[in-house]
Structure 1
Amino acid sequence: MHEKRAAGEDNSEALAPVQEQSDGVPVDDRFLLQSLMDHIPDSIYFKDEKGRFIRINRAKADRSGLASTDDAVGKSDFDFFAPEHARKAWADEMEIMQTREPLVESEEHLIWSSGLERWVSTTKLPLQRQDGKVVGTFGISRDITKLKQTERALGAAKEVAETANRAKSEFVANMSHEIRTPMNGVIGMAELLLDTELSSVQREYTQAVLESGEALLGLLNDILDFSKIEAGKIELDPAAFDIRDSIGTMMKSLAARAHHKGLELAYHFDPMIPEIVVGDAGRLRQILINLVGNAIKFTEQGEVVVAVNVDPQTADTQNDQNISLKFAVTDTGIGVPQDKLDTIFAEFEQADKSTTRKYGGTGLGLAIASRFVELMGGRLAVQSEFGRGTTFSFVVQLPIGVRETSNKSQLNPESLHGLRVLVVDDNQTNRRILQETLQNWGIQPQAVSNAKDAFEQVKLAVEQGTPFQLVISDVNMPEIDGFGFVESLRHDSQVAETTVMLLTSGMRSGDLPRCEELNVATHLMKPVKQSELLRAISHAVGLDAHDADAPQSDSLDAASLESCSGYPNTATASPSLGSLRVLLVEDSLVNQMVAKGLMSKWGHTVSVAKNGIEAVQKSEADAFDLILMDVEMPEMDGLDATRAIRKREQNATPPQHVPIIAMTAHAMKGDEGRCREAGMDAYVAKPIRQQALLDAMTTVVAASSNRSR
């Protein structure tokens, strides 16, 4: 015992006791130190300048397999641990004594000679005498083995979760492809069938097939969006856009669904909102489509109105760079019970969960809208009174953008200043929106709610010598509809020449001939975008001076009559395309029929390749103006086929470039990028929308023509 003590006797001054007294309790450094050493569960140790133990505590002795703490005196880490750890500990201690810098919370993996294995967090400091001389080190090691085991378990669980997430993502991508491929056949063939001569019953049945296909596609898109949100793979893509035109187009896409139920669908913009803002227009439209679609579904009568205003709570803090906009979607539907208001934004939640519920759906629409709003920095809120209607609202801040310069002439509302216009509509919301819009353009509107009052106002204005230069009338009104009103004007010689524009909530096949018969200047579908209303008014009163490149009026024509289904218009081929030689690369027979039907309808000739190998061979043997390329195919997929075609074209003299459009059921994030990286010029996701395909064809063919010049 005394020999072991002798090894550390040079350091005795560092541990010299100091005697004091406090309230009868002995305050002795050795007493306090011994109490700490005997009871703390962490390992405490003191070493001399050669790394030999001077003193250790009970916990350290137990872990080292020693019967007494004195058994460690004079020994070093080499007596207890593997050489690798002992050498590192000795090196750390030499550096601490030299630099006098402590080693704080260093994690160490210890394996004792007894086989005990532990992870510890170690802190070591220089041991100094009272004169400041460093005579060794001392430290404390805290057992963190359970923490490390937990970390390992979490790491393993994370790896399992990531593997499962990858599997889920792959499953969702495969599911998307497998569902979209037959969906393309269902929707595409139904649209082609509607272009043929059908009986009324056949047309009704075909329309039902198309609507069912669209409903399934909406369900698929909801599931995919939710999966991407859950995986954290949704990102915003901000860009400058015309907010009025963008939301107006979105509203028109929902018009037929509302009009089919006899609902008024309207939207209103605060005139203080700038024309161009910067944001993710696609996600904003998706939010509103979910909210408006939900409102239409749960509203049996009345109206659905979208209002966009400068947020009143931040109006005083607006600047030239940003603007806070409040979006509100209000309906006159069934409302939401108060006990359901806190849960409707949760995934798969519905107010009515019973198997006999009247309204279907996945319960994902509001959850998706809420997540997108949060991504934009806002929060989706709801106010509702059961049985009387609901308002969903959110506020987002958007940078103010600048319209890019364009060669297209822009209509100037200043040319309409002072124009006297009579607005006729039985819906108060529509009257208010129309009046405010016209007033903002400097027009002098007057509004009435029915055809009888309108006829009297037109007559009175003529008698007073201040006739209305234009009458804008709704078609669907009680008692006397818009056509009946115009007919009464035409039969009165005093007002027979009155210029009339009709707005309708639902087009019928006989509307066009009747408009021509009654000399109606323009006939527009509600809700009317401000841009098309301005063009239509200018055209009706003979003030439109736009050139051939400017947007044309959305007056009633054959194409717009086709839009009464509520789905995208049947696309009419652009004359600038001419007759193209098209190579269709598609392994699905049904999808071949859809694409061949479209190309034939648009006047193009088609050659078919069933896989990538045939595509490469046929594109080399014959000259084509365009290639429509599927991606997922046997033997060689569309990406490899495109790479092979591009490589051959680059080696040709002179170099060639046939436009290739990806026409694929791969519609997950990143799929378009992979198609373009392979050398494709454009990307159209299945199910193929006719207008989207035609737009892509027009763009790539025009680019190819410019490239060859």
Structure 2
Amino acid sequence: MKIHKKIAILNTIIFILGNILILFLLNYQEKITLFKNFLLLKLILIVILFFLISNFLSKFTLINVYKTLEKFDEIISLVNEKFITELKNEFANMEKCLYEVFSSIKMDILDILVKEGEIKREKEKAQILSDKLQQLNKNLEEIVSQRTKELIISKENAESANRAKDEFLAKISHEMRTPLTPIIGYSRLLLKENVDPDFKEKLDIIHTSGVKLLNFTNELLDFSKIELGKIDLNYESFSVKELFQEIYYEHNTLAIQKNLKFKLEFLSEDTYVYSDKMKIYEIAKNIIHNSIKYTEKGFVLCEVDVRDGYLYFNVYDSGIGIEKKNLEYIFESFGQINKLSSGAGLGLSISKKLIEILLGTIQVDSKPNIGTTFKVKLPIEIYHKSGENFSSALTKLLNTNNEKLKSILLMSILKFPVRLKKLKEAYKKQDIKLLRDINHLIQGTYGNLNLTLIYDTSLKISKELKKENINFNNILYLIEELEKMTHTLDYCELFNSYLTYNDMKLSLLIAEDVEDNREFLKAILVSDRIKVTCVENGLLALKELQNKNFDAIFLDIRMPVMDGLQTIKHIRDKKLYSSTPILALTAQAIIGDKEKYLPYGFDGYITKPINESVLFSYLYYVANWKKLLSEEKGELQ
């Protein structure tokens, strides 16, 4: 029931009850003692009646109002219901539209947030690992620093204790070679001429013993050089097939004597490579000789292959074999498993050290009484790349009709070996500032001349030197690349062309006690433009200086009668040859020797064995000595 109907019914009931009450009071007023005064009673009744009527009327008025409000409420409800329905429809359409528009974006954002979370977690893990690594590095650096100091002290003590022994060993080995040469040579000649079986057998014993002693001496000398750090790499081009065939023929006689099947197999076509031929020869010779030596029956096979920038050679034998526990021992100095066998036990030790110097590897597999396999892998360079390009490019430039350019090129190329020598010395000292200064000079000079092979390599050195952590192994590799370029040029021809072009002649005095060295120097120096006078010691050099003028003096440091140090002291004290360059020509090539002897007054320092490119590079400075006295004398030293 609606509210206005309830109000109307209630008002009607109240109004009826009120009238009944009034009528009852009027009819029975005489009976009520309380209302004696009729006037007062009427007044009260009129008031009550007025109240009832007014209340009744007001209630019905409210009923109309309620009716009106109810209609208005119905209208508003209809309008509101329609509006809400339309609004809901609009919102539904809008929601659908928004969902379609932003659903792909929402998914992309979710993917990004997920990935970002993963990246953040990985970054946090990486940071944790980085912190741990930094801490470990810090601790490791401290340990390495302390250990390095200890090792330096130990090394200095060991070097000091062993230097005299090593130098003595090298000298004795050298002196032993001199008498062995005629013993072996003359016994071989007599073996060819004499047919008396008894006498021939005795000569064969002399010859074989001499060869054994020579092999031992060579091993001892090589060992002492390696231990003293005097081994230098001398690159040249050579045929792999010719090298191994030479080793094969040297050892085939021994294999025939032992009734062994000795075979050499090439797994690839003959290839010319660019490496240290004599080091590879020594390695292969020692391993093959060792296999034949310890094989009493069966075979020795050597396989050779060149591929992928490496020289591979494997030596198989059916010899006595080696127990697993002794595989490392055979590479130790003087290490011999069979103590009754001949030799000093240096062959495999020397081979392993030479392989390491050439940045190669060696592996050995063996089973006792079955045989042994040696596998050697050496990095090499096929001989047709940068060296030939550099030589051909320079040749084209020198054939130009531009005389000024030709003069500059000759001058710059002749300077190059000395600059390269100084660059390598700076590398050995790991003097970063000096490396940068010399390399900057090389880079500027040969970049301006468009010699791109030198410039590009020098640029790589420059980039390496700019790094926070410099890799000196990379720098050494690049310096060796530059050295390979110098080996492709005939510096003798270049220097003589320079002298001819500038119409210059040189007169040289050389004091050298070894006749073979004197003859070698004459062979490479004497020309129409160069005159050479050789003497055996410093005293004879002083006598020559009294009678003739020379453009340069070369002095061996160690000579009989008067050595190079005594000679240069006499020359400098007299002050008669202050404008004549004096250069040391010596075998004193250990690190520190140059700094030791230059202060005696030498203007340059050339080590043995003599590098021709360096020698002629020094001669360029000799030819221009007066001009360069104030300008570039420091570059010579």
TM over 0.5: no
Whose strand proportion is higher, 1 or 2?
Answer: 1
Q: Which has the higher helix share?
A: 2
* Structure possessing the higher radius of gyration over alpha carbons: 2
TM-score normalized by structure 2? 0.40
Normalising to structure 1: TM-score of the pair?
0.37
